[in-house]
Every structure is written in structure tokens, then in C-alpha cells.
Amino acid sequence: MFLFNSFLRLLQSIQTVPHMWVQNIFLLAEKIISYISNVYNFTIITKPGIKYTVIKNILLLFLLFFLIGCDTASEEAGNTRLQTSPQYKIAYNVLYDSKNDDYEIFAMDLDGSNKKNISKWKGVDWVYYAYKDKIYFISDRDTTHRIYFLYEMDANGNNVRKISDRRLRDSWFASRNDGQEFIINPHNSVDSLFNIIDTQDNLLSRLDTGLPFASDPLFSPDGQKVVFRGGTKKSKREKGFVDELYLINPDGSERTQLTHYPKEDTTAAWWAYKSGPPRWNQKENFISYQSIQNGKYSLYGVTPDGKKQWKLTGNSQEEGWHDWSNDGKLLAIEVFDPNQTQFDIALMDWKEKTLTVLTDTTYKYQQAPVFVESNNMN
């Protein structure tokens, strides 16, 4: 009884609070009581000095607890969404000092603000991959110019660590198993096959694609397949070289050619990408790549089974290296003019198909964007 009287006093005090939602609760209670009175044909008795009856107060308590519960559940769901929906920045490569062949890694907000040099090393640092809030890049720091090794750093450019002592080719790479395993492309002085290593540089396996040329490996989202750029000739300088995308199992079995460059298209120079480094849209489950067709670099898509191949974008700019956000809603693209005099980073809203250029002409070469989670980034 003491608790009930306490609730009763609470409700009587709440009635004086001038909030619309409180008044709506009381109005709803009035309607419910009126309905109960009509259905069961009884009269609500009011005690002297108390405006609302026991039944009404019980209904009010029920409604208050119900609404508080809904509000709490909504707040918890909102907090969960904030925790599970990452905020992104874009990391990209800048030719910072052309005279000294100095490439730096920059990061910026999705609106192009807060551009910042996060690598700050006079040499070649080049980001090819990011997982969660870590950036993975090749670098010639601590060694000879343009001899590359694999490094990591956080999204602020701190905690730089050399991951592997294996010399690398200038190639894209990727990870699986929550960032615990990497597929890399070693320099031919080290190995002619893709290597799968862990974060401590232990060799887990080697992947033989069975092709004379193989580069830019990428794990499928589930880590069970590898898509890569391959060719039936060893070098682009060989007549008839065509790079295509292939899908293969990590053990080297079931290799499948995905792309088929149009035989009638002769607009590509010998060094140009016919099928560029692949990126995987996890949301819609297709693979994207750059390709020069009809004299213009554009982005194209292909399904993992290779049955469908199509032009992905209709932007007027030339399009090159690119990356998808994990939810597939955003596409960061390197865009440039036909004469390749200015390279910029642009962001495309995939649903609306709107493209916004984020960089300016401070630097000529701004390339190869990747999304990096920035929830804890200052």
C-alpha cells in the first residue's frame, strides 16, 4: 500500500508538468476508462480530495512504464547503431614533393575538410588497404629508395609498425579473418607466388595462380576466394598482353576468368589497364574495376560468377583506383582529366549517383583512395 500511495503521489505531481506527452497520457487514460465504464456498465468512484481513481492511476502507471520501456529500447537501439555504424575518413596518396619522389599518405573527412598528412616520411609511402581503423601501406622507409615492405599505422598516422620483412611488388593487397591474415604479392626476388601471411609475418600458404602474370590480389568478403588481375603473358610489354580479372580458391584450385576485354577495342595503350585492380562491393556482391574502353577510363562491374559484366558509372571524368565503404553506400574514386594533368579524389553517393570532388589543385597527384574507420580519430 505504501508503494501504491507513493506512485499515486508521483502521478498527481506529474499531472502539473506542462509537457505535451504527459497531457496526452492523461487524455488516453480518460478514453480507456470511459471505454471500460461503458463496456462493463460501472461508475468510477472518486475519493474526496483525489482527482483520479485507483483504476485510472493503475492505467497511468501501465502507460508510463510502457512508454518509458519503449523510450529506453529506442535509446539502446540508437546507441547500438552508433556503435556498429562506423564513421569514415578517406585516406589517399599524394605526390608531395616531385623533385625528391616523396609520396605521402593524407586523410580527410568525407566532405573534404580536415586534410592532413598522416605519414610524414620523406620517401615513398603508399596506402593500398585499410581495415577498420588501421591503414596498411607499402613503404621504402628504413631501406633503399623504392624497395617496399609492408607497414601498418592507425588512422591518425601513429603506431607505425613494420609487418613483414618480405620485399613486396608495387601491388594492391588485402586481409581476411578480422585482419589477422594478409595476401601479399612478393617481389620476384623473394617469391613468384602470392603469399598468405599472418600479422607476425609467418608464412601460412602460397597461392599459385597458374598464370605467367598475377597481381593485385583481393580476398572475397568471406575470405574463401581470391580475385586478382592476371594475364596469359608475363609482361605488358609483350605483344598481345591483356590483363583480366580471375577468381580462384586460396589453394589454387578452380580458377575462373571473370572479365573479357572487347577484342574490337584497340584504344588502350600497351601500358593501360584493360582490367584494373579489383574492389568488392560487399552489399551488392559484385566486383568493380577500372578499364579503358572506347578511349576512356571508366569503372565497370562483374558478378563473382562472371556471368554479368557492365559499365558501372557514367561520370564524365576519367576514373581510376577506387574503394567502397563496407555498407556499399559510398564510392571513393580517383578522377582525372584525359591528359592526366590533374588527379583528384571524388566521393560518389551510390544510391543518388551524385559525385563530389573533395580535393583541390594544391597537389597534382592525389590517388588511390581507401575508406578508414574514424570513430576514435581526432
pLDDT recorded at residue 47 = 45
Pair 13, 157 in one domain = no
Count of CB atoms within 10 A of residue 238's CB? 13
- Map the chain to HEC letters: CHHHHHHHHHHHHHCCCCCHHHHHHHHHHHHHHHHHHHHHCCCCCCCCCCCCCHHHHHHHHHHHHHHHHHHHHHHHHHHHHHHHCCCEEEEEEEEEECCCCEEEEEEECCCCCCCEECCCCCCEEEEEEEECCEEEEEECCCCCCCCEEEEEEECCCCCCEECCCCCECCCCCEEECCCCEEEECECCCCCCCEEEEECCCCEEEEECCCCCEEEEEEECCCCCCEEEEEECCCCCCCCCCCCEEEEECCCCCCCEECCCCCCCCCCCCCCCCCCCCCEEECCCCEEEEEEEECCEEEEEEECCCCCCEEECCCCCCEEEEEEECCCCCEEEEEEECCCCCCEEEEEEECCCCEEEECCCCCCCCEEEEEEEECCCCC
Pair 65, 101 in one domain = no
Pair 103, 232 in one domain = yes
Pair 300, 363 in one domain = yes
The answer to the question of residue 124 being in a domain is yes
Residue that finishes a domain, picked among 82, 116, 150: 82
Residue that finishes a domain, picked among 82, 102, 126: 82
User: How many structural domains does the chain have?
Assistant: 2
**pLDDT tens digits for 26-68?**
455 556 556 555 544 444 444 444 444 545 555 455 544 544 4
**pLDDT tens digits for 162-191?**
999 999 999 999 999 999 999 999 999 999
Pair 157, 212 in one domain = yes
The answer to the question of residue 288 being in a domain is yes
Pair 66, 186 in one domain = no
* Closest to 310 measured CA to CA, from 283, 284, 333: 284
Pair 74, 94 in one domain = no
The answer to the question of residue 378 being in a domain is no
The answer to the question of residue 194 being in a domain is yes
The answer to the question of residue 227 being in a domain is yes
Pair 76, 96 in one domain = no
The answer to the question of residue 270 being in a domain is yes
Pair 302, 346 in one domain = yes
What's the CATH code of the domain at 156? 2.120.10.30
Pair 37, 147 in one domain = no
Evaluated on CA atoms 195, 196, 200, 203, the torsion sign reads: negative
Residue that finishes a domain, picked among 42, 61, 82: 82
Pair 16, 130 in one domain = no
Domain of residue 22 covers 2-82
Q: Which residues of the chain have pLDDT under 70?
A: 1-85, 376-378
The answer to the question of residue 258 being in a domain is yes
Pair 17, 94 in one domain = no
The answer to the question of residue 208 being in a domain is yes
pLDDT recorded at residue 69 = 52
